Structure formats: structure tokens, C-alpha cells
Amino acid sequence: MIAREAGSNTIRLNKAIARAGLASRRSADEMITQGRVRLNGEVVTDLGTLLEPGRDLLEVDGNTVRLEEKPRTEVWALYKPKNCVSTMDDPRGRPTIRDHFPRTKARLFPVGRLDYDAEGLILLTNDGDLAQRVAHPSAMVKKVYLVKVKGLVSPQALAQLAEGPVLDGRRKKGVRARVLHVINDKTWLEVKLTEGIQHHIKKAFASIGNRVLKIKRYQIGQVTLGELEPGQTRLLSAGDVETLVAGPSKSRRKKTSPPQRQKADDGVK
């Protein structure tokens, strides 16, 4: 195999895979370490490997990846229904987010994830670089959720979350939450995150003694669910996409509030 040195025409494997619209850079790294990527006929597992488009042959899962000019970026807002996994396929045969993809020639994949039993806004794109910028904690892209928990949540508990809960043995960034209303022994809150780990909200509230009953994400950056219904999609405008990657200091700031039509579904036990 030809070992490329860094130059103006070389790019890393994960960037090439992301540019082709196959996955985000992080997911591309997983493909590489899993031995699913070949360069010039040989399996490559070194994340630092470089290639030169037009000269090197790149294959992923046995399929040739054509490194043409970067395709036009598409970003879609999708209302992920409950009881649906956020991955492209599921070995357990559960419904996947792919079942709700819009009809487009672009090779879309989800940006980040939502829990199987959670619902709400998730972004789809064919641009791996954009997905990386939006999903990485350093971008400080806020995600806003409507959350219902069992029991009351005291001001002291909210302050504890704001300081940064200790999850999986590590202190995380502060979880901003405010109580919207209380019905019987259940509390509805608005929750804001700028980073995310698996089951982040569930673990955060469990750390203060509350079990999460419902999660609905309705905003990422300045993009909201709007009038979308479960399973529906909306193509984002160029302006919406620009605010996603501009960073918190440059994004258009506007106040949003939880969906007014969201009823206090007291049927979750």
C-alpha cells in the first residue's frame, strides 16, 4: 500500500468517508478501527492514514467510495417518533430512523442520537464535516428538551444539576433545567444540554432521585420542531444551516418556549 505524506492534495480517511456522505467523522473512525475500510486493496485500521483523491482507491464494506467534488449539503429536521432507534439499522429488528427518511438522492445519516423511547427533533445530513461540528461538545450547540419526571424537583436539586452532575464517574457540564409545572406527583421541566452521553438526561435526574418518564427534544441550536408531526421531515434553509455551525456567539439569538400544544400526558406511569 502506498503510504502518503501530508500534502495539499491529501486528506485523512475519516474526512474522505465523511465527504462522501457515508458517515460523520466519528462514525468513520469506528468503521476504520473495525476493519471495514480498505485503501488500495488493503485493510487500514490506522486513524492517521492519508489518501490522495484521484490516485488512491478507497473501499468501505467492500464498496468503492468515489471521491468526487463535495456534494451539495442537505440538512433535514426530522421528528423522531417514540420506540424507534436512531441508528440506520438494528440487529434486534426494531423500527429505525431510516424508516422516516425523506425522499432525496442525498445519502443522509443522523447527527447524534435520541433514546429509543424518546421523541422529537433530530437532524439528518449528508455532510460529515457539518455533523462533526454540530455534534462535538466544543461547538456548544444547545439541545432543548421537554422532560417529565416522577416526583418533585427541589431548587437545591436543580442547582446541583446546574453545577454539573457526576455521571459514569466523571463530572459533566451543567444541566440547565427549570420547572414548567407540577401535576400530582409528576414534574414537567425544560432541560438544556450542550453535550451528550448515552442516556444523559435519565442519568442526570437519577442522580438527584427522579425517574424520567418522558423526553421530547424540540430544539437544536436555533432549529425547532415547528409544526412537524412524528415521522415528518423538513429541509432546512441555508440560513438555518449557517446558524448551526456559526457557534453560540454568532448564531441568531431568539427566545423559544416549549411547544404550547404539548399536553401534560399523565398517562405515563
CB 129 within 8 A of CB 241: no
CB 41 within 8 A of CB 57: yes
Residue with the three cell numbers 449557517: 242
Pick from 169, 246, 171, 165: which is nearest to 210 by CA?
Answer: 165
Give φ, ψ of 240 to 5 degrees.
-65, -40
Burial class (CB in 10 A: 0-12, 13-18, 19+), 181: exposed
Per the structure block, which three cell numbers stand in for 184? Answer: 400530582
Q: Which of 29, 56, 115, 127 is catalytic?
A: 115
In three-state secondary structure terms, 130 is helix
Give φ, ψ of 161 to 5 degrees.
-65, -40
Our answer to whether residue 115 is catalytic in this structure is yes
Burial class (CB in 10 A: 0-12, 13-18, 19+), 141: buried
Q: How far apart, in Å, are the Cα atoms of 121 and each of 61, 90, 153, 218?
A: 30, 20, 25, 5
Kindly list the catalytic residues: 115
